[in-house]
């Protein structure tokens, strides 16, 4: 009889231990909310402008990016000056946060998901549509403009750039000499040059006339020296000398393009 009593008590203890561990585990998950759980909950509602039956899983597993919803398309406005569209100007700290936040996620997120995650706090008030590239603009209290450039079709974000002023081609030509000027010297004079990959160092900068594309090469080794500098006017085709391979064409395709009406800094915009 005693043996059965101990068996019953032992079984009850095991059941209570299992329940206790399970409760604590569930409570810990609820309390700590790991990043992956937070992320899933934050992107749960991806049905903006879509049928209610669409789910996050269907969005992420669409057969092609063209089939995915484009939730910023309805915001495109190429007619209204940004001074009339942007109603909120952010502090220097907020602009720095936005730049780092979007930059840190541009390799694995589309502008749609960034929009979904930050628009409640940082409104998408000015979104432009270009020939190949679109962009969303934010303005700082100092008048600076932060632009997140994304592919018009896929909505992939590939470059984030902050402008305190817009230079002309002559500004660069007066400060650059092929085969002489180094990358460090250019970056010291012209901040926030756009970055490209591959073995050579590619940089681009939106200027008043279009986008200036620069190639730096180590001659013979570092430091990197300016090897080529070409202006791409907004909407123009690719020059023949750049049609030499898939990598170069892909890089050129992603050059930023901005509407001429946006290439100025208005510090007095209230």
Whether residues 178 and 236 share a domain: the answer is: yes
Grouping H, G, I as helix, E, B as strand and the rest as coil, residue 17 is helix
Q: What is the mean pLDDT of residues 145-171?
A: 92
Whether residues 27 and 91 share a domain: the answer is: no
Grouping H, G, I as helix, E, B as strand and the rest as coil, residue 22 is helix
Whether residues 22 and 105 share a domain: the answer is: no
Domain membership of residue 165 (yes or no) is yes
Whether residues 12 and 127 share a domain: the answer is: no
Whether residues 152 and 244 share a domain: the answer is: yes
Lowest-pLDDT choice from 13-22, 60-69, 155-164, 224-233: 13-22
Confidence of residue 65 (pLDDT cuts 50, 70, 90): low
What does residue 249 show for φ and ψ, rounded to 5 degrees? -65, -40
Check residue 192 and give its pLDDT: 64
Question: How far apart (Å, rounded) are the C-alpha atoms in residues 98 and 137?
Answer: 11
Domain membership of residue 41 (yes or no) is no
pTM over 0.75: no
Domain membership of residue 69 (yes or no) is no
Between 51 and 15, residue with greater pLDDT: 15
What does residue 187 show for φ and ψ, rounded to 5 degrees? -70, -30
Whether residues 9 and 115 share a domain: the answer is: no
- To the nearest 10 degrees (0 to 180), the angle between helices 92-105 and 111-118 is 140
Check residue 241 and give its pLDDT: 73
What does residue 106 show for φ and ψ, rounded to 5 degrees? -70, -20
Q: Does pLDDT of 54 surpass 60? A: no
Domain membership of residue 134 (yes or no) is yes
The strands making up 194-195's β-sheet, listed across from edge to edge, are: 194-195, 201-207, 210-218, 224-232
Number of domains the chain is built from: 2
Between 267 and 115, residue with greater pLDDT: 115
User: What is the helix (H) or strand (E) element at residue 28, kind and residue range?
Assistant: helix 2-32
Burial category of 199 from C-beta neighbours within 10 Å (exposed 0-12, middle 13-18, buried 19 and up): exposed
Whether residues 234 and 125 share a domain: the answer is: yes
DSSP letters of 93-121?
HHHHHHHHHHHHHTTT-BHHHHHHHHTTT
Confidence of residue 262 (pLDDT cuts 50, 70, 90): very high
Q: Quote the domain boundaries for residue 209.
A: 75-270
Under DSSP, the state recorded for 182 is: B
Asked if residue 138 lies in contact with residue 95, where contact means CB atoms within 8 angstroms, the answer is: yes
Q: What is the Rg, in whole angstroms, of the alpha carbon atoms belonging to the chain?
A: 26
Residues 6+ apart with CB under 8 A from 195: 159, 202, 203
Between 244 and 210, residue with greater pLDDT: 210
Whether residues 212 and 80 share a domain: the answer is: yes
Whether residues 84 and 216 share a domain: the answer is: yes
Q: Does pLDDT of 39 surpass 50? A: no
Whether residues 137 and 26 share a domain: the answer is: no
pLDDT in tens, 80-105: 999 999 999 999 999 999 999 998 87
Domain membership of residue 16 (yes or no) is yes
Whether residues 263 and 167 share a domain: the answer is: yes
Whether residues 18 and 117 share a domain: the answer is: no
């Amino acid at each position: 009889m005693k043996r059965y009593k101990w068996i019953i008590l032992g079984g009850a203890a095991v059941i209570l231990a299992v329940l206790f561990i399970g409760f604590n585990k569930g409570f810990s998950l609820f309390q700590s909310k790991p990043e992956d759980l937070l992320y899933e909950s934050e992107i749960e509602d991806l049905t903006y402008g879509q049928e209610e039956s669409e789910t996050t899983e269907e969005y992420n597993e669409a057969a092609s990016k063209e089939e995915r919803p484009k939730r910023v398309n309805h915001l495109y406005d190429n007619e209204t000056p940004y001074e009339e569209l942007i109603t909120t100007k952010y502090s220097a700290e907020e602009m720095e946060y936005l730049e780092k936040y979007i930059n840190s996620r541009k390799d694995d997120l589309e502008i749609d998901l960034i929009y979904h995650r930050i628009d409640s706090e940082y409104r998408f008030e000015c979104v432009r549509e270009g020939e190949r590239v679109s962009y969303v603009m934010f303005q700082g209290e100092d008048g600076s403009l932060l632009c997140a450039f994304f592919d018009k079709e896929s909505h992939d974000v590939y470059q984030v750039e902050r402008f305190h002023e817009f230079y002309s081609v002559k500004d660069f030509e007066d400060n650059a000499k092929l085969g002489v000027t180094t990358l460090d010297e250019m970056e010291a004079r012209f901040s926030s040059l756009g970055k490209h990959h591959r073995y050579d160092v590619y940089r681009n900068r939106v200027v008043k006339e279009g986008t200036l594309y620069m190639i730096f090469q180590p001659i013979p080794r570092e430091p990197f020296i300016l090897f080529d500098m070409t202006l791409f006017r907004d909407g123009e085709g690719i020059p023949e000398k750049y049609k030499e391979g898939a990598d170069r064409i892909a890089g050129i395709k992603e050059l930023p393009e901005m509407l001429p009406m946006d290439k100025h800094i208005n510090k007095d915009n209230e």
